[in-house]
Amino acid sequence: MDRPGRTFIEQIEVAGDQLVRTIKKLYADADARRVIIRTAEGRELLSIPLTLGLAGGALTVVVAPVLAAVAAIGGTVARVRLDIERETGPHVGD
């Protein structure tokens, strides 16, 4: 019987010029499900689902416009906060 994993939010702060690199790493992270880009004050700028289920060239075509938007945000702010929604596997004994 498959049991769903548990979801939690990880918060990190990154410099605007490191934003695109960080988002690219999150796309490769199997546990990351969604990322919300917020200002340092907490205002939501962009919410990005990371579970696209695509591979190879299709992923590049879909992600390119998102990364362009992320780059624009990174170019306008000094620091942002990322709320990363992660899902862990089922726990033993659950």
Domain boundaries, the chain: 9-88
pLDDT value, residue 1:
47
3-state secondary structure (DSSP) of residue 5: coil
Question: Where in 4-88 does DSSP place strands (E)?
Answer: 6-15, 32-39, 44-49, 79-88
CA–CA separation, 36 vs 2, rounded Å? 28
Compute the distance between CA of residue 30 and CA of residue 46 in angstroms, rounded to an integer. 20
Per-residue pLDDT for the chain (94 aa), expressed as one digit of tens each?
455 678 899 999 999 889 999 988 888 887 888 999 999 899 999 998 886 555 555 555 567 788 888 888 888 888 999 999 998 766 544 4
pLDDT of residue 63: 73
Predicted pLDDT of residue 61: 59
